[in-house]
Amino acid sequence: MDHVARFTPADLGKGQGVDLNAYRWRLLTHGDTWFAPPGAGPGQASLLDELRFESPTALVSATAGAAADAGLLRHVVDLAAAPDFVRLLSAADAPVWDGIVLSVGGGDLVAAASVPAHRADGGEVPLEQRLLRRQTEWGPPSAGVGRYFSAPGWATLAEYLRANVRHVLSLRDQGPSAGKPVFVHCYAPPTPRPAGIEAPGEPVRGPWLYPAMRAYALPAADWPAFGRLLVSHFAQELRRMAADVENFRGLQVFDSTVVPLAAAATAATGSSGDWHDEIHLNHSGALKLGRAWSEHIGRVLNPPPPPTRRR
């Protein structure tokens, strides 16, 4: 159940080019660091490497390996930042894709959670522009970890996410693949902890949520639950988009929050459980999510026939 061939946009233009018609399914992929390219860092895994299909499938990856603090959505809005993806999706002479496979919004979620309570000049950042509340703004203990969460800030981020997903869908509908399914995944709940990415020859990046938890003085015992809260809100928003067929036609959301993963230990500074670092999966985690997502994609591309009615 493999049958997957990986290509880059450059492969399509070499010599006679890749014959995409030799494959039953042709998928254009693009994403953030959950679609990490080779060499992103020892032990850091990519969901793309774990996609498996029963029929011959071509994956054409336009992923540029964006940094973890620069989510795909910003790159898609800035058309110059992802020219291969935009061209292969929206150009009149682009291939007809059976689906577009994306990893979106993770960097934007992390960046929003990292917004401090005060600007450099000492001025207060309004709740509409951050996801965490200062101690003097915390709700009652009966609200659980929701007492630390800024609903106005989430509303701002949610509208940003909706606008950018609509933008991706509009690009799709400009080209030959208009109306084809766009597959996105939710994220798995991370454990805020002091574990960043170490790549050869590069400075350590991250951690991302851990500094925010400390800056806002959230009790350490509540950090894992707050990580789950953030990812839960993200998943709910994607599901709402998918249910809005009129405005998000063809959006197919895989709820990866329901796939059981081994959580990382709060104090671990390296790979732990199914996690390579604070927000990225290791190979065991990517395998679990990638295989489950493959099944979801396969069911959409090749739905089972309707049951026959007895006369």
Name the CA dihedral angle for 212, 165, 238, 299, rounded to a multiple of 10 degrees: -130
Do the domain assignments include residue 193?
Answer: yes
Q: Check residues 219 and 40 and name the one with the higher pLDDT.
A: 219
Do the domain assignments include residue 307?
Answer: no
Confidence band of 79 (pLDDT split at 50, 70, 90): low
Alpha carbon 128 to chain centroid, angstroms: 23
Do the domain assignments include residue 116?
Answer: yes
With pLDDT > 90 as the criterion, what percentage of the chain qualifies?
78
Do the domain assignments include residue 311?
Answer: no
CA 79 to each of CA 13, 76, 85, 136, 286: distance values in angstroms, whole numbers, following the listed order: 21, 6, 9, 41, 29
Containing H/E element for 46?
none
pTM equals 0.93
Do the domain assignments include residue 306?
Answer: no
- Residue 115: is it exposed, middle or buried by C-beta count within 10 angstroms (0-12/13-18/19+)? middle
CA–CA gap between residue 278 and residue 304 (Å, rounded): 38
Residue 121: CATH number of its domain: 3.40.50.1110
Q: Check residues 276 and 66 and name the one with the higher pLDDT.
A: 276
- Across the range 147-169, mean pLDDT stands at 95
Alpha carbon 106 to chain centroid, angstroms: 5
Domain count, the chain: 1
Enter the tokens of residue 95.
Answer: 């291939």
CA–CA gap between residue 292 and residue 9 (Å, rounded): 26
Q: What is the pLDDT of residues 7-34, one digit of tens each?
A: 999 899 766 678 999 999 999 999 888 9
Which domain covers residue 87, as residue numbers?
4-301
Q: Looking at residue 89, what is its pLDDT?
A: 96
- Across the range 242-265, mean pLDDT stands at 97
Do the domain assignments include residue 308?
Answer: no
Enter the tokens of residue 126.
Answer: 């309004």
Q: What length does the chain have? A: 311
Do the domain assignments include residue 21?
Answer: yes
- Three-state DSSP at 253 gives strand
Strand order in the sheet with 25-31: 4-7, 57-61, 25-31, 99-103, 182-185, 251-254
**Maximum C-alpha span of the chain:** 77
Q: What is the pLDDT of residues 29-55, one digit of tens each?
A: 998 889 876 555 567 899 999 999 999
Q: What is the pLDDT of residues 174-194, one digit of tens each?
A: 999 999 999 999 999 999 999
Q: Is 225 in contact with 213 (CB distance < 8 Å)?
A: no
Is 162 a residue whose pLDDT tops 80?
yes
Do the domain assignments include residue 53?
Answer: yes
CA 176 to each of CA 23, 95, 97: distance values in angstroms, whole numbers, following the listed order: 18, 7, 8
CA–CA gap between residue 259 and residue 182 (Å, rounded): 21
Confidence band of 250 (pLDDT split at 50, 70, 90): very high
Question: Of the segments 3-7, 45-49, 64-68, 238-242, which one has the largest average pLDDT value?
Answer: 238-242
